[in-house]
Structure 1
């Protein structure tokens, strides 16, 4: 039986079955779970009754199912004209519904993302709209007033008076967080910004998905310095802060990277190479109840000023002397404060971040300085996200950071900034729905038709600005400030058998075999990327090379998978593929290239096998052949 390229991208059920089988091999039999055997393996335990502690809401079951279903008939289409430095960059910007994007990325990035930061809608009654099957975030524009979206779906504003106000938000968040957990690495961390409206519900959902013991804390960020509505200030407490939930993926012990505290970076070095700083021995008034004659004495000829006494007694001074830390300079007495052990020099990752790092207002101004008028009200400061990335990704400077509610692309800006500061090579993946900007907004007047245009332009300008700021730093020319752009689109490949007859009729009428295999408006590169998404551990930034010496439509990605889209497979093409070094692990052909000629297909596969053995000096070559 020949192997077909799978229509599936990722099968969550099979993945979960594999995890269960790895723990209890004897309970999975012919792909089915023996639940009685599982109970026996678990031993005596108390089963959950009908009444149990959990958060539930209308639609939760469907939200769970949504997370556990694969995506069918959709792909990511490469947009080279919007990309920057596409030949060298390892960064991605993806336009589309983030639920679809997460499903499309799940196979390629399963367990590969070190850090996720998201700033989802806070459910204020104004900040997201929803359709029947999924919810999306939205800036205030004509569409969230109940108009029609680009696909003809009526959008409904999730207003606070709605009977399912909280349920709609939870149904939007739950499947996305489930998918986020799948692509986090075992030592990965997720940060989720939130405000008061849904903080309780988010905590319960995250405890359910990630586990309550994996909650590392909640950060309070001082996001405001002034009251937003002074008329209500006397009726209710005014919020100065927003929150950032911090969860790890697994039970692995996690250690944050920490910074040296500024006051302990000591400037002086002693004769043994140990760092220290000098502090003058202080004085205090000798009058009143604290006045003591025993605190007035000579320290190597230096006395306190008249009317004063030393803050330290003679015993303490002698201890300084014994340690070699007593110094007299310019007729003043000092003692050395020596650098402590490294752990004592570190500033903790505090659960409170003050306004000094930036507020929502300063972040809006920061963005405006880069791209002009933008219309964003909930921008985060670059320094805030930079700080989060530092604490998680300083020990892994090649890590991947994902933001699937990327908005104005602050996270991408922060990644590039930190890389410039410490020479890292961290990569970013930004995901954003291309929501239209209000035609009356300043952003629209400035030429930005949707949020994605703002995000992409911000990355372009911020990258150049960072390179200019660090132009004198060694190696800054290697800073990756590019990104490849992809958009969610319909599949390029005719997977559906129902359309086969239609395509076959077109082929018989004289059209090329492309009409039989592919949908209109496809490109070869689109097909290669779509196939790439179906392979584990091959990121979308993997190199794609056209093998022009073999054929005009033959490609290889990641130096591992050959995709032969030639309409006819000749001996020259087969011999060329067999001669590739290093040897590919898989070769993919078009079924139509063999025109239902079983003998031709068999002879071609035999020739490929023989040629591979020839180039491998007679040794067996492990590889796989599939067909589309």
Structure 2
């Protein structure tokens, strides 16, 4: 019921004439993004002289960039709560599944996994105008957000629909991606890499953003994945048959790709027509177009035919002395008749054990989107009418990345913080089951509503459970550790009570209520994992529970950390724990049976285990 916005219509007309003069800007009144005219640029377009304007510089800029940088550095008050009942092999597994906002998850993982992740693969939401992207307004209360966004779910997810109606703004998408990539860089190891799937809409912006975050010197490749196994006849213009996968290293000087295994077809090309005892060989051309000063000389074939020199416009690759040496070693092939132009025999037994990865990946080798969907439906025993992911990534596609970036024996950690359908966790388990590897995975997924009272993370976990069973049943390696479990961790508010009182507002009752600083619904396991996060301890270390003097005591990696959060801790129990000489020990602040015991804790450990770090929460 509003009259047309003529200014926006006029801007659209200018965009038709001068596309480079229309940009995105934030409205001073509403704070919303809208199209705007870059008047300095428009003035230059309409002038026959250089117009004075803002100082030019080479950079990627957009409305909201400073806020995105602030979000990357801002702390979070959230914590990770274990959900043991929904986990698999909780006490022993080294895999993690984290449910919640991935920006908060990355912040919580900073200390524990700083510089430890070997490979990251993400398939972020494409800016299609229909997908959802994350709206990271941490300053807003959840109630205010629900009113503002007209959305509601069980844990207060923050989502912003980047739809056609708001112009599919690149700024929204970039603001969502930047803080996540900056935090992802921190957890990458010095010889680690990140693979990012993307389509044509944001490939240029993502490349510029990654250059800024990782450094242009660390750009490795832009991989073309031919994802469609048949043309899309419904396409408006051309059938979009490919996606891109950007590959960046944390440090390109320290990272090198692993060679890919040769396929059966590659090996079949090696033949042995002359029964050479060195085995099958492949014929290499002796001539090349590159200039070589010693590469012009006549050659006489075994049949007596004279070859005056290399073909026109080319040179022999090697000198005559080297040629004679190879000929004497039966490494020159003249054809079955003995008078062909010579070639060099390249023996399969002498070439590198693999081939260098290429930047074009065909669906025939790594799978198509249709293959991925069919495989997922089969794995989950879903019928054609069941709700399922529209564009899951093929497991083979991610296995190709694992082949390039990891080796079976290096205990590599693989992170995917846009887990989606769970393809990355599936690929890691399948790869381990076939090559005996001990790679470990961390998946992060927001519990977006899906269907049938299920969330995306629920469906992802269903897939991960079935993928583990498949890996056990079909894996060809007998040496892998068969770790198909995962620790389910959920992002939630702090375990500590929130205190918002001013001194003049506190009553005696309020002080009594604050004696116990832990929220009543939190368990000992909750407190343990908050300590692990705060202390930067590996979240997958084995955990053992033991009852000592009637109290539950947690031993993390035996003596890496010992924790007791029960009430009524006695000095005798403190002395008993000190005998194990743990690296760290933690108690509940109000868990001691008396103030005297609390005061004496540090003294006890100073005498019995002086290297132990003592903490009370």
- Interval of TM-score (by shorter of Structure 1 and Structure 2): 0.7 to 0.9
Which ranges of structure 1 fall in alignment gaps of 5 or more residues? 1-48, 135-142, 280-293, 299-316, 439-443, 613-620
Whether 2:556 is the aligned partner of 1:557: answer yes
CA distance in 1, matches of 2:273, 2:68: 61
Q: Alpha-carbon deviation of 1:275?
A: 3.8
Q: Alpha-carbon deviation of 1:161?
A: 3.9
Q: Deviations over 1:537-558 (max 9, x none)?
A: x221112222423551332323
Asked if the contact 1:261–1:347 (Cα under 8 Å) also holds between the matched residues in 2, the reply is yes
Which ranges of structure 2 fall in alignment gaps of 5 or more residues? 1-53, 139-146, 284-299, 305-322
Asked if the contact 2:259–2:353 (Cα under 8 Å) also holds between the matched residues in 1, the reply is no
SS at 1:377 equivalent: coil
Q: Deviations over 1:509-541 (max 9, x none)?
A: 8xxx9x7131021110111011000122x2211
Aligned to 2:315: none
Question: TM-score when scaled to structure 1?
Answer: 0.73
CA distance in 2, matches of 1:348, 1:154: 43
**Quick one: which of 582, 585, 596 aligns to 2:583?**
585
- Seen in structure 2, the aligned counterparts of structure 1 residues 364 and 499 have a Cα distance that, compared at 3 Å, is farther
Q: Map of 1:51-66 to 2, 5 A cutoff? A: 51-66=56-71
Q: Alpha-carbon deviation of 1:267?
A: 8.6
CA distance in 2, matches of 1:250, 1:95: 30
- Seen in structure 2, the aligned counterparts of structure 1 residues 167 and 229 have a Cα distance that, compared at 3 Å, is farther
Asked if the contact 1:131–1:153 (Cα under 8 Å) also holds between the matched residues in 2, the reply is no
CA distance in 1, matches of 2:176, 2:407: 32
Aligned to 2:415: 402
CA distance in 1, matches of 2:196, 2:150: 28
Aligned to 1:85: 89
**Quick one: which of 450, 456, 462 aligns to 1:451?**
456
Aligned length: 514
Aligned to 1:624: 613
Asked if the contact 1:551–1:573 (Cα under 8 Å) also holds between the matched residues in 2, the reply is no
Aligned to 2:329: 323
Aligned to 1:543: 542
Asked if the contact 1:146–1:157 (Cα under 8 Å) also holds between the matched residues in 2, the reply is no
Q: Deviations over 1:388-428 (max 9, x none)?
A: 01100026541000000011100011101111121000000
SS at 1:197 equivalent: coil
Q: Map of 1:182-193 to 2, 5 A cutoff? A: 182-193=186-197
- Seen in structure 2, the aligned counterparts of structure 1 residues 503 and 90 have a Cα distance that, compared at 3 Å, is farther
Question: TM-score when scaled to structure 2?
Answer: 0.74
Asked if the contact 1:148–1:155 (Cα under 8 Å) also holds between the matched residues in 2, the reply is no
Q: Alpha-carbon deviation of 1:187?
A: 0.9
Asked if the contact 1:149–1:155 (Cα under 8 Å) also holds between the matched residues in 2, the reply is no
Q: Alpha-carbon deviation of 1:164?
A: 6.9
Q: Alpha-carbon deviation of 1:239?
A: 2.0
CA distance in 2, matches of 1:386, 1:144: 42
Aligned to 1:250: 251
Whether 2:389 is the aligned partner of 1:392: answer no
- Seen in structure 2, the aligned counterparts of structure 1 residues 84 and 230 have a Cα distance that, compared at 3 Å, is same
Aligned to 1:431: 444
Q: Deviations over 1:231-259 (max 9, x none)?
A: 623xxx33211000000112533211002
Aligned to 1:76: 80
CA distance in 2, matches of 1:481, 1:504: 52
Q: Alpha-carbon deviation of 1:148?
A: 3.4
SS at 1:605 equivalent: helix
- Seen in structure 2, the aligned counterparts of structure 1 residues 144 and 470 have a Cα distance that, compared at 3 Å, is farther
Aligned to 2:484: 481
Q: Deviations over 1:492-518 (max 9, x none)?
A: 233647599999848958xxx9x7131
Aligned to 2:598: 601
Aligned to 2:216: 212
- Seen in structure 2, the aligned counterparts of structure 1 residues 144 and 394 have a Cα distance that, compared at 3 Å, is farther
- Seen in structure 2, the aligned counterparts of structure 1 residues 574 and 122 have a Cα distance that, compared at 3 Å, is same
Asked if the contact 1:492–1:526 (Cα under 8 Å) also holds between the matched residues in 2, the reply is yes
CA distance in 2, matches of 1:182, 1:547: 36
Q: Alpha-carbon deviation of 1:230?
A: 2.8
- Seen in structure 2, the aligned counterparts of structure 1 residues 367 and 578 have a Cα distance that, compared at 3 Å, is same
**Quick one: which of 179, 182, 198 aligns to 1:178?**
182
CA distance in 1, matches of 2:133, 2:74: 23
Q: What is the root-mean-square deviation in Å for CA atoms of aligned residues?
A: 4.1
CA distance in 2, matches of 1:319, 1:129: 64
- Seen in structure 2, the aligned counterparts of structure 1 residues 496 and 409 have a Cα distance that, compared at 3 Å, is same
Asked if the contact 2:560–2:583 (Cα under 8 Å) also holds between the matched residues in 1, the reply is yes
- Seen in structure 2, the aligned counterparts of structure 1 residues 251 and 296 have a Cα distance that, compared at 3 Å, is closer
- Identify the range of structure 1 (405-414 vs 538-547) with the bigger mean alpha-carbon deviation: 538-547
Aligned to 2:127: 123
CA distance in 2, matches of 1:321, 1:50: 66
- Identify the range of structure 1 (346-355 vs 107-116) with the bigger mean alpha-carbon deviation: 346-355
